[in-house]
């Protein structure tokens, strides 16, 4: 099975909140929350893919981003390389252009276990959440 290269963004707003969106029910890992992004197309650089995906999905134009970490994860039906970027500069108002739910959360809200299980992330996102839990926003470069 070929590994799929995916970019995802930890988008930090001016008030130090982090933007997340919920995957559509019809998608792989549907209904779970994620850091927005998408597949890197053939011949596309990760930062170009990130800018394209974030504009298509949540209507922002990236003005400042940098690599954060990479995660390889094997689902039963798919292998992914998650190329995670920190986005701390953008223009536009982030919103779900594809009808997906979106939220701005503080780091504490993002990492707190949800009583109603509302903030479930795909297993491939767990190393990202763990690094944020271990290092906090200081792990992000501003």
Question: Domain of 42?
Answer: 3-139
CATH classification of the domain holding 62:
3.90.79.10
- Tens digit of each residue's pLDDT (9 = 90 or more) over 76-85: 889 999 999 9
CA distance 33 to 49: 20
Pick the more confident residue, 114 or 133. Answer: 133
| Exposure string for 124-135, b = 16+ CB within 10 A, e = fewer | bbebbeebbeee
Classify residue 122 as exposed, middle or buried by CB count within 10 Å of its CB (0-12, 13-18, 19+).
middle
Query: What's this model's pTM, rounded to 2 decimal places?
Result: 0.90
Confidence tier at 56 by pLDDT (50, 70, 90): very high
Beta bridge partner(s), residue 114: none
Beta carbons within 8 Å of 138's beta carbon, 6+ residues apart: none
| Separation in Å, CA 112 to CA 44, 83, 89, 124, 133 | 36, 24, 26, 18, 10
- Tens digit of each residue's pLDDT (9 = 90 or more) over 1-55: 899 999 999 999 988 999 999 987 666 666 899 999 999 999 999 999 999 999 9
What domain count does the chain have? 1
CA distance 25 to 129: 22
């Amino acid at each position: 099975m070929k590994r799929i290269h995916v970019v995802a963004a930890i988008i930090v707003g001016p008030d130090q909140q982090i933007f997340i969106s919920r995957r559509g029910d019809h998608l792989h890992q549907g209904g779970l929350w994620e850091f927005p992004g998408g597949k890197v197309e053939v011949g596309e650089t990760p930062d170009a893919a990130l800018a394209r995906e974030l504009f298509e999905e949540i209507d922002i134009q990236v003005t400042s981003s940098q690599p954060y970490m990479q995660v390889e994860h094997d689902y039963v039906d798919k292998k992914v390389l998650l190329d995670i970027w920190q986005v701390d500069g953008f223009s536009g108002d982030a919103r779900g252009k594809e009808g997906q739910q979106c939220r701005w959360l503080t780091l504490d809200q993002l990492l707190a276990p949800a009583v109603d299980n509302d903030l479930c992330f795909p297993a491939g996102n767990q190393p990202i959440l763990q690094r944020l839990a271990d290092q906090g926003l200081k792990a992000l470069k501003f």
